[in-house]
């Protein structure tokens, strides 16, 4: 008579299932690792390409300025396509029309900030909310700092922090935007998918500026206040609020 004790069939099945699951998990892990490595390479290449593009734009402007100076002409830069708008007033004592415009621009709270494509229509809207908002033309550094530090995405109507490229890829992958650098590029250059990318970004919740607002905050910027169009001076304000 054999001394072997046969294991129950259910136990054998459990072991077999556990081994199969472990093998599947290991294979999936290897595949994910490989895909992530390839994705990282694509992201690095894109980032390099964007840096070259930004430098080229900068050098081109410098060259044109020098040429104009040499020939005794004036250099007129292209009209800005992008604006960053910050709400400077709370919810009390606002007329219905400006209130509606602030809602349309998604500026629902004081110190909220959003990017806007500058067109005739949006310029008219900004004129209506002049007493309640500050805006200007952001530079690349400002766009990057805002998205990297204060960037939140809208995923299933929820405010999700952009702590991983996966958040962006899941929401905007079909538009070719798979990482933060893609998002920065789309916003800064006001690309073809600007509307989708900008709508994905939750309005930025900024702090009060370091050193406080101007003494007469609700005067126009050119009169010593804080509201209205301040062109490239918006960058200094964003640094103080970010």
pLDDT-based confidence at residue 119 (cuts at 50, 70, 90): very high
Q: Are 221 and 122 in contact (CB under 8 A)?
A: no
Instruction: Read off the pLDDT of residues 140-190 as tens digits, 9 standing for 90 and up.
Output: 999 999 999 999 999 998 999 998 888 999 899 899 898 899 999 999 999
| Cα 24 to Cα 5, 21, 31, 44, distances in angstroms | 30, 5, 11, 30
The residues that bridge with 117 in the sheet, in sequence order, are 82
User: Which of the 8 DSSP states describes residue 189?
Assistant: T
Report pLDDT for 2: 55
- Residue 53's contacts (CB-CB under 8 Å, 6 or more residues apart) are 185
Report pLDDT for 11: 84
How wide is the angle at C-alpha 38 spanned by C-alphas 32 and 39, nearest 5°?
85
* Res 8 pLDDT > 90: no
Q: What is the DSSP string of 145-174?
A: HHHHHH-EEEETTEEEE--SHHHHHHHHGG
Report pLDDT for 3: 65
Q: Are 79 and 190 in contact (CB under 8 A)?
A: no
Instruction: Read off the pLDDT of residues 9-64 as tens digits, 9 standing for 90 and up.
Output: 888 888 888 888 888 888 888 877 887 788 788 888 888 999 999 999 899 999 99
Model's pTM, two decimal places? 0.82
* Res 1 pLDDT > 60: no
Instruction: Read off the pLDDT of residues 59-112 as tens digits, 9 standing for 90 and up.
Output: 999 999 999 999 989 888 889 999 999 999 988 989 999 999 999 999 999 999
């Amino acid at each position: 008579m054999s001394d072997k004790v046969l294991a129950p069939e259910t136990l054998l099945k459990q072991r077999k299932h556990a081994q199969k699951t472990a093998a599947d998990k290991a294979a999936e892990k290897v595949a994910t690792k490989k895909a992530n490595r390839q994705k990282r390479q694509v992201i690095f290449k894109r980032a390099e390409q964007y840096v070259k593009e930004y430098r080229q734009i900068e050098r081109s402007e410098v060259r044109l300025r020098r040429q104009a100076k040499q020939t005794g002409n004036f250099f007129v830069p292209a009209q800005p396509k992008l604006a960053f708008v910050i709400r400077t007033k709370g919810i009390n004592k606002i007329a219905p029309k400006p209130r509606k415009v602030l809602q349309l621009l998604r500026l629902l709270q004081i110190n909220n900030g959003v990017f806007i494509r500058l067109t005739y229509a949006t310029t008219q809207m900004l004129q209506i909310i002049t007493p309640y908002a500050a805006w200007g033309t952001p530079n690349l550094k400002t766009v990057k700092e805002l998205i990297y530090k204060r960037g939140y995405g809208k995923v299933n109507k929820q405010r999700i922090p952009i702590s991983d490229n996966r958040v962006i890829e899941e929401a905007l992958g079909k538009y070719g935007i798979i990482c933060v650098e893609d998002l920065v590029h789309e916003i800064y250059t006001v690309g073809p998918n600007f509307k989708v990318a900008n709508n994905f970004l939750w309005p930025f919740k900024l702090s009060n500026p370091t050193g406080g607002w101007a003494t007469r905050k609700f005067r126009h910027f050119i009169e010593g206040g804080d509201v209205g169009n301040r062109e490239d001076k918006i960058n200094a304000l964003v640094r103080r609020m970010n």
